[in-house]
Each structure stands twice: as structure tokens, then as C-alpha cells.
Amino acid sequence: MKLSCCTLAYIVSTPLDEAIKRIAEAGFKGVDLYTGPPHIYPAHYTKEERKAVRKIIDELGLKLTGFAVAGGILNLGLNFSHPNKIVRDETLQYYKDNIILASEIGCPLINVLTGHCLHGTSREQGRQWTMDAFHELATLAEEKKVILGLHPQYIGDSPLMVTVDDALDMIKELDSKMAKIIFDTAQQNITYRNFAEDIRKVGQNLCYIHAADNDGVSWTHLSLGKGTVNWEGLVRTLKKIDYDGYVCVQTWSGEPLDADSMIRESKEYLDNILRKVG
């Protein structure tokens, strides 16, 4: 297991290049980029600017481990199951742009969210629209060699991919070697806390961990150790399934909190757990 950190911690306070530098200064060896404004939103970055971001990462000796896409509570305007086709098409294009960006700068995976059904849209219709889009994404992902990390998340009144079972059903339907699962501790601590059972169930489909804490009730992304997530149990389960991918710290707040301290506290806490488990 290796540690990474997402620039999401800095989106309300710090531009992308500075956020990457602070993650390196905190001792992380991997960095995960938030691909919504004000960070590396594909439509806002030219090819030259994209290369410049990659250069910063390389010069700092970091490994680019993943993309955290805009979506969910961070961007309700991106929704595969929105009743307006214009919104669905814009959402699909945004994800395609992310796959292309990932391929250009050497990022191995992006996370994929479903959105949620609004009043008047049935779950069946929303899922059909979503899966139609996912099939297109899988085709492009296979061409560009970028993993689609399906990301269970609770959002809105009618979410489509809340549990790992939802994600596994979608993976089975997609039948693509590039479709995997991202396990988000903050999300799953609210929806289903039996991490050990879920991680064993996901098995070799697990490609990435988003690591943040909360109290199991409120949608927050606290520093590791500040909530009710059983981190030692999580690490022991990951060890049992021989998981050798990245655990990506994804602390976040809508307020300009001390992001530097949040990511450093999280790294120190997780380092201690890893040493204890061995």
C-alpha cells in the first residue's frame, strides 16, 4: 500500500501548482488532481498548460495516481441521469475530456460518479441513461488505457450507485477490463460501515481508496482519525486481499480551513496504522 493525497483539500484556498507543492512538502509520494475549477478542469487548460502541470509533478518526484472529478455535491450540474439531454451530453463530454487529459499527462485512473435522479425521473430511466454513457466511456477508456474507477456515493434523494453492490452490477454489465471500483471511506462510513465485508466482496475489482473521516452521519471529509472510521480494521482487510494500490487522502472542507495541517495529520495517522499492522 502506498499513500497519495488529493488537491481537493485546497480548492477553496490554493491554486493547483501550489497545492501540488504543499502535498510534496507534507511527505506524500503520490498526488491526485481535482479536475474541477479552480484546479485542472480540462476545458480551462491548454496542452501547454497540461504539460506544465506534469512537469511540476515530475520535478517534485511525485507519482500522479488519479483524478478526482467534479460531480456529486461539488457539482450538481454534472449528472448522467438529468432529464435534460443537454446536461447529460455535457456530463458525458466532461468525462471524455477527463479520460483524454489523463491519457495526455500519464494519469492511470479517474473516478466516475453517477449523479442522481430528479423528481419525475424513474430510477430505471436514470440508470439506463447512465449506463448508455458508461458504455461510451468504457470504449474510450479502453482505447486510452485509463481505468474508470466507479465511485459509490450518496447524493440527492435518488442516487444510483450508493453501495459496492451497485457498482459491481454496473461493472458486470459494462464487461470492460478498464472498469474497476474506488472505495471511499467517508461515503461508505455513512451508507454501509462494514468495510471488511465490502472490500472482500470487491476483491480484485478494487483499484483505489479515497481516505477521509467523518462521524458516520454528516457528509464531511475530516482528517483521518477525527471521526468514526476504523482505520486499523480497514488496513488489515486491505492487507488480507493483498491490495497494493494507493490510499489517497481526500480531506476536504467548503470552508478555508488549514488544509496543510489536515493532510499532514492524516499522513501521520495513516503512517502509524501501517507501521502497526506491518
CA dihedral 112, 114, 115, 116 (to 10 degrees): -160
Q: The domain spanning residue 185 has which CATH number?
A: 3.20.20.150
Entry field: residues in the chain: 278
Q: What pLDDT does residue 155 have?
A: 67
Residue 260, number of CB atoms within 10 A of its CB? 16
pLDDT in tens, the chain (278 residues): 899 999 999 999 899 999 999 999 999 999 999 999 999 999 999 999 999 999 999 999 999 999 999 988 788 889 999 999 999 999 999 999 999 999 999 999 999 999 889 999 999 999 999 999 999 999 999 999 999 999 998 766 667 999 999 999 999 999 999 999 999 999 999 988 899 999 999 999 999 999 999 999 888 899 999 999 999 999 999 999 999 999 999 998 877 689 999 999 999 999 999 999 98
Domain count, the chain: 1
What is the span of the domain harbouring residue 81? 2-277
